[in-house]
Amino acid sequence: MLDYDTEAAVYDATRGGPQRAEQAAAAIAGLIGEQGPVIDIGGGTGIVAAALTTPGRPVLVADASTGMLTAAHTRLPGRAVRADALALPFRDASVPAVICVWLLHLLPHATAEAVCAEAARVLAPGGVFATTVDKAAAHDTGSDLDIILRDLRRAAGADSRAADDHAHLGRHCAALGLTEAATTTFTGTGQGRTPATLIAHLRDGRRFAWMGDLPAEAVGAALAALAALPGQHTRRPDPRYTLASWTTRVGAPPLPPWPPSPDSTPGAPTPATRSPPGPPPRDTRLGERSGKRPPAARRAPPPRRTPWKTQPPTREQP
Ligand SMILES: C[S@@+](CC[C@H](N)C(=O)[O-])C[C@H]1O[C@@H](n2cnc3c(N)ncnc32)[C@H](O)[C@@H]1O
């Protein structure tokens, strides 16, 4: 995986900027509705989270990279928290909506599955989990570039199932007790590749997770084929990304409205602070994870919500 601490400086500008974020956020909003607060797992610089945020739908970025979190904290002060996607600092069944954009495809298969399990753990009854799926396939628009790239992927043994394979994640989420709800797409406007950009990406072997240990000859042959294409700086068609969503138990009671009712307890545990030992407080919607996950069928109804705050990311933060 890329070093996102250093990538943070160029991340937004090289991934479609605000336009991509707004398109992604609009598609996500169509899947999760007005449910909030939302946890954005691997939320990076917060560019999508900020576009998704509304007064009634605050979004919290949970990410592992200091560089990305620093950008997110600038964008969404107090709403960026250091967190491992495999151990989210939230209680079981406490979060109305969890999103995950452009993360699962970067992970080993078992890790991607574990991230889904963690999302399912923190989702409140009636909550929604939405994630991008089939990202590599989104980029394959059948252009002359893609034909060359397909050969290279085959040489890398990358034709087998991707970690964000929609069908596989669907089966996995079903096993976690989630119900598939909807699928939508959004266009990566301006993200169509040119031969020149693809050559640059291939030369920088970090850009594609699947490149692995590809033999230098295979990469060299692809580079030569790409360099011979016409329109070296002409963009091929834009990718169209897919998002899928799953919900917890169908027919779960509707979530209480946001903002919280005036009787919420101020100062209740937040994602950046530890809860005292013992059972989780009953009046906190988003709080510290409590350890063991109760069976879905025995989950308690969601407690009332309390506003949450986070600290700016620091290296010392756990
Ligand atoms: C491709 S970026 C996507 C950022 C953001 N979702 C977006 O679409 O703009 C992947 C992000 O996942 C984060 N990440 C990778 N592994 C993680 C993990 N185990 N836990 C939390 N975040 C992780 C990286 O730091 C990076 O910010």
Return the pLDDT at 115: 97
Give the pLDDT band (50/70/90) at residue 204. Answer: confident
Mean pLDDT of 102-126: 94
Residue 186 parent element (H or E): strand 179-187
Higher-pLDDT residue of 225 and 213 is 225
Single-letter code of the amino acid located at 140: D
Distance in angstroms (rounded) separating the CA atoms of residues 220 and 226: 10
Give the pLDDT band (50/70/90) at residue 206. Answer: low
| Nearest partner of 233 among 196, 185, 259, 208, judged by Cα | 196
Predicted confidence (pLDDT) at residue 27 exceeds the cutoff of 60: yes
| Nearest partner of 169 among 130, 141, 126, 139, judged by Cα | 130
Give the pLDDT band (50/70/90) at residue 250. Answer: low
Strand-pair partners of 62: 41, 81
Return the pLDDT at 255: 42
Predicted confidence (pLDDT) at residue 259 exceeds the cutoff of 60: no
CA of 10 to the centre of ligand 1 (A): 14
Distance in angstroms (rounded) separating the CA atoms of residues 213 and 275: 44
Could you check whether the bond before residue 37 is cis, i.e. omega within 30 degrees of 0? yes
Lowest mean pLDDT among 82-96, 140-154, 179-193, 270-284: 270-284
Mean pLDDT of 144-160: 84
Cα separation values, 76 from 85, 87, 180, 215, 307, Å: 19, 22, 30, 43, 15
Q: Which atom of ligand 1 is nearest to the CA of 101?
A: 6
Return the pLDDT at 272: 34
Give the pLDDT band (50/70/90) at residue 190. Answer: confident
Q: Are 60 and 311 in contact (CB under 8 A)?
A: no
Q: Are 192 and 141 in contact (CB under 8 A)?
A: yes
Cα separation values, 134 from 205, 244, 247, 312, Å: 21, 10, 19, 33
Higher-pLDDT residue of 63 and 306 is 63
Return the pLDDT at 267: 30
Phi, psi of 166 (to 5 degrees): -60, -50
Distance in angstroms (rounded) separating the CA atoms of residues 189 and 239: 8
Distance in angstroms (rounded) separating the CA atoms of residues 202 and 222: 9
Distance in angstroms (rounded) separating the CA atoms of residues 268 and 272: 11
Helix (H, G, I), strand (E, B) or coil at 81: strand
Most informative mutation of 15, 38, 63 for ligand 1 (most atoms within 8 A of CB): 63
Higher-pLDDT residue of 119 and 313 is 119
CA of 228 to the centre of ligand 1 (A): 35
Quick: pLDDT tens for 297-311.
334 333 333 334 343
Residue bearing the CA closest to ligand 1, atom 27: 44
Single-letter code of the amino acid located at 36: G
Mean pLDDT of 161-185: 94
Residues with CB under 6 A from ligand 1: 4, 42-44, 47-48, 63-65, 68, 84-86, 101-103
Q: Which atom of ligand 1 is nearest to the CA of 11?
A: 9
Higher-pLDDT residue of 294 and 76 is 76
* Half-sphere exposure at residue 73, Cβ-oriented, CA atoms within 13 angstroms: 17
Most informative mutation of 65, 69, 75, 118 for ligand 1 (most atoms within 8 A of CB): 65
Distance in angstroms (rounded) separating the CA atoms of residues 59 and 55: 10
Return the pLDDT at 291: 41
CA of 268 to the centre of ligand 1 (A): 28
Lowest mean pLDDT among 21-35, 203-217, 246-260, 301-315: 301-315
Q: Mean pLDDT, the chain, as a whole number?
A: 81
Give the pLDDT band (50/70/90) at residue 207. Answer: low
Predicted confidence (pLDDT) at residue 99 exceeds the cutoff of 70: yes
CATH of domain 4-141+160-193+239-250: 3.40.50.150
Predicted confidence (pLDDT) at residue 69 exceeds the cutoff of 80: yes
Give the pLDDT band (50/70/90) at residue 216. Answer: confident
Phi, psi of 132 (to 5 degrees): -70, 145
Residue bearing the CA closest to ligand 1, atom 24: 42
Return the pLDDT at 316: 29
